[in-house]
Chain A
Amino acid sequence: MEDSRPTRRDVVKGSAAAGAVGLAGLAGCTQGGQNDGGGGDDGNGGGGDDDGNGGGGDDGGSTEYPSLGNFPVEGDTVTFGFNVPQSGSYSQEGEDELRGYDLAKQHLNNGGGWVDQWDDLSGDGVLGKTVESVNGDTATDPDTARQSASRMISRDDAIMITGGSSSGVAIAVQELCQEEKVQFQCCLTHSNDTTGSACVRYSFREMFNAYMTGQALAPVVRDAYGEDLNFYQLYADYTWGQTQQASMEQFFTDVAGWSQIDSVPTPLGTSDYSSYLSDVPDDADVLVLNHYGLDAANSLPQAIEAGLDERLEIIVPLYNRLMAQAASDSIEGIFGTADWNWKLDEEYTQSFVESFQEEYDQPPSYAARLAYTQTMQYAAAVERAGTFYPPEVIREMEDYEFDNAGLGGELMRGSDHQAFRDVLVVQGKAPGDRDSEFDLLNVVNQTPRDDLGYGPDEGPAAECELGEYGDE
């Protein structure tokens, strides 16, 4: 569907377009009489003046923008939609994401955390409006996620949706958000497609991707295990696993000089990997498990139980806490990458970890940082733009350089909305070296962003066409 479906408010605002006097009068009532219903306004067509948001002060003095998506934001609150997996394979990540989101909301409204450190943010909401939120359960399923997001957009008038664990979900929801002209802030999505072939204008990703995992990981494992090895891959059969295994193949072949024996898909949500694991050939030197969440929490321990770690090296390209905890006795020495780690010695990391721990009595996982960061970045962009008008907010975020998200210098590239930032190569800690149940990983290498990434016409970005701002 090319045009966005009208939301109730949208249409109520634009109803005068029909020139229907009766309706216009009624619409005026519904809006609390902001539009006098006199029919002077020309609806929601391009450049219409029916923004009607009354007080200029309310919206940062920018009353000149036409309504678009859920803009303008009426009243003295603004609603964010937190759409996370509360059930399904990635529900544990979802739980921590929600903690990050709630903390961000709390800080935006009352100050604290990064709000005190970022110049853009004030601690009295966003543009003076109190931040409210609605939550939804994606069930780690793209269709459920879309239905939940569309409820947030049409009923709750959410100005921004964020969330998702699973790239399948992120891609499905960001497409919806592009249609509806509501901003989407990706949370945990690592597939190349999210900012590659499936990229959209209305979505931004702070997380790195499978391509960068390949770039960061290949030199490290080459140095650790040597060249001329044979590797065998298992991957979750959806967008993330597919691009993940492709990137592994590319960089292990080109950079590490290894050769791939085979790469085998496993369905997302598989609980028993023993038949896949028993197929791992004898001449394999390295086994790459491209699994995540509950899947990885199943496949890695099963691989170790099958004794595979004794005859070959196991690599888990993307670590997550659930898997590390589930396999905590056996992750010692296993390489992978991670978005971020709560033990990084960095000022923004420290202040985030501090306030998170104060609130929840446990350190944040990187899913929580992503949630927190993405919400803060959106809020800051709105403050800089001085309006919630989506195209302006988007332009504010594009090509924005920053160093206040816990990972040093970062660039949100305008041509594909992918953040270019450092990537952590990590290794499982031996049980004896741990301070707590959350201290599971050693940061082996913080690969600087200059060693990673790709040009706007290379790699995943080559297939990216962002689409419209909505004000063209």
Chain B
Amino acid sequence: MSRDGDTPVETDGGTVVDDADSGSGSIGGPIGEAYRSLRENEFSVVIGSALFLVVFPYLLIEGMGMLNESLGDPGIGGYEGLASLVLIYGIIVIGFNLLLGYTELLSFGHAAFFGTAAYSAALLSSTAEISFAGFSATMPGITSPIAMLVFGTALATLLAWPIGFMSIRRSGVYFAVLTLTFGQMLYFFALGPGSGITNGDNGFSDVNVGSLLGMVDFGEPVSQFGALYLPVIGNFEIPFLVSLDYVPIEYVFVAVLFLLALTVANRIVNSPYGLIFEALGENEQRVEFVGLNVFRYKLMAFIISGAFAGMGGALFVMHESFIHPATALYWIQSGDFVIMTVLGGTGSLIGPVFGAFIFEYIANVISGATIPVIGEIGSLWRLILGAVFVFIVWVFPRGAYGALVDLKKFLVRAVESLVWAVRNPSEAPGAFTDWLRGVGRGIATWLRGVGRGVTSRVRGMLSLVGVGGGS
């Protein structure tokens, strides 16, 4: 921790720090160079994610499955469907974060776009009779996944325009409440007057997902293409290739779209246009003084995030083959997007995806787990989610992803120091005690910070209830 920043002033081991740093430069050699140049690349996050997506289902099912068995089967293993679900929500929160993390607009109504896309994609694929206000029609039954996706996303985007147009005129809480209200209007419409279209509280289940490009069914395992690449690999048993085995085509479809969404968002964030989103979040007035049309940029950010939510909604309904107003449009769904985003961390593009993972994992896996003392989690999962949320937001203000980044930095430092220590055995003990002292100091600082936070919070709460006269 003492090595944070290049401040040799701190201790007499300062020079040591420098040595370690130069040492680390030589550790990686050409690989390290390649790694660093990759990091420089704007799309490194996309490339990294692409690699991760290949092993993700494997980690989720085999990795968590093994962990589950080693813990005596409390029921914490993952399963295939979860991988797709996490990515679907990942797409949504990446878009949502463009609005919340960059433009700093907190929308509580994104379920409106999610649900609209879900219902419109479902209806497109359906052959049901629908009726509304005396009109009735038979749905076309277009089952192409791509058509469903495009149709759903398009309608959600179209809806985001007027809702954004009206909501963005207000800011802060008023903006949040306006978006919430629009979302709730759609919810009650779907439940009541629009039930001729949505099938109301019974949920809409006439969802027919056809084959992709007329060739492969969503449910087919990827391994049917195994023959294409396996002869090349021959008889080598590469463990992670097993994941291709029970991964359905659907996952590949979702993963490709996830990468696409990530690429687009990444480009936006790194473009001059995205820079203005960020500037808006930091100081709206200043952007206005520069002469830019603030309203237009905010509206665009809103519409883009609506499109992402729509994309997720359309994929969600293909994944579930079922949609219900409570899942599609209720404000809790909007709130879940906010929770996922903040949980993962709003500061980075990929962060919210971690939030989506934690959220969906707790909702779908932990909710079915049985743990000692408490027993079966069941409906307590929201309580656990709440505890995790409070913990993460309190201890890691930059979210779960921020915590991971810090952890990685720490580990890299540790490895570097270790290498350095091996190379300079004579100086190592001194540097080690020095490092320990530094860590201690770091922890103390951190604890003091937390302590100060607690005291001020407690004082705040007490003053709220009229104790202590406020601070």
Interface residues of A (CB under 8 A from B): 1-8, 10-12, 14-15, 17-23, 25-27, 30, 86-87, 91, 134-137, 139, 141-144, 146-148, 150-152, 154-156, 168, 171-172, 175-176, 179, 237-239, 265, 267-268
Contact = CB atoms under 8 A, between A and B. Distances in A.
Given A150-B79, A151-B368, 17 more contacts: A2-B208, A6-B219, A6-B246, A8-B61, A10-B246, A15-B223, A20-B223, A22-B241, A27-B245, A91-B379, A139-B379, A141-B324, A143-B322, A144-B327, A155-B61, A175-B321, A238-B202
Per DSSP, chain A at the interface is helix
A203 to B, nearest CB: 14
Contacts of B278: none
Contact of B201 (A2, A150, A268): A268
Interface string B79-117: 111100100000000000000000000000000000000
Interface of B: 61, 75, 77-82, 85, 191-192, 195, 200-203, 205, 207-209, 217-221, 223-227, 230, 233-237, 241-242, 245-246, 248, 250, 320-324, 326-327, 363-365, 367-368, 376, 378-379, 381
Between A12, A18, A26, the greatest number of chain B beta carbons within 10 A of the residue's beta carbon is seen for A18
A151 B227 contact: no
A137 B367 contact: yes
B64 to A, nearest CB: 9
B368 A135 contact: yes
Contacts of B205: 171-172, 175
Contact of A141 (B75, B79, B207, B326): B326
Contacts of B248: 5-6
Nearest to A136: B368
A12 B323 contact: no
B78 to A, nearest CB: 7
Given A1-B208, A23-B230, A151 B322 contact: no
Contacts of A18: 223-227, 230
Contact of B226 (A23, A151, A238, A265): A23
27 contacts: A3-B219, A4-B219, A5-B219, A5-B250, A6-B248, A10-B246, A15-B221, A15-B223, A15-B245, A18-B223, A18-B225, A20-B223, A21-B230, A22-B237, A26-B242, A26-B245, A27-B245, A136-B378, A137-B381, A143-B322, A147-B81, A151-B82, A154-B81, A171-B205, A175-B205, A175-B321, A265-B192
A416 B192 CA distance: 30
A30 B235 CA distance: 16
B226 A20 contact: yes
A184 B108 CA distance: 37
Contacts, number: 170
Contact of A151 (B79, B219, B225): B79
B365 to A, nearest CB: 7
Among B61, B217, B320, B322, chain A packs the most CB atoms within 10 A around the CB of B322
A18 B381 CA distance: 40
B221 A11 contact: yes
Given A12-B245, A25-B237, A143 B80 contact: no
A238 B200 contact: yes
A21 B378 CA distance: 42
B221 A22 contact: no
A26 B226 CA distance: 13
B221 A137 contact: no
B216 to A, nearest CB: 11
Given A25-B237, A268-B201, A8 B322 contact: no
A110 B462 CA distance: 57
Contacts of B327: 141, 143-144
A86 B370 CA distance: 14
Contacts of B320: 143, 146-147
Contacts of A86: 378-379
A441 to B, nearest CB: 28
Contacts of A10: 246
B234 A142 contact: no
B362 to A, nearest CB: 13
Nearest to B68: A155
Contact of A19 (B79, B227, B364): B227
Contacts of B217: 1-3
B249 to A, nearest CB: 10
Nearest to A150: B81
A22 B235 contact: yes
Contacts of A154: 79-81
Contacts of A143: 203, 320, 322-324, 326-327
Given A142-B203, A143-B326, A238-B202, A179 B321 contact: yes
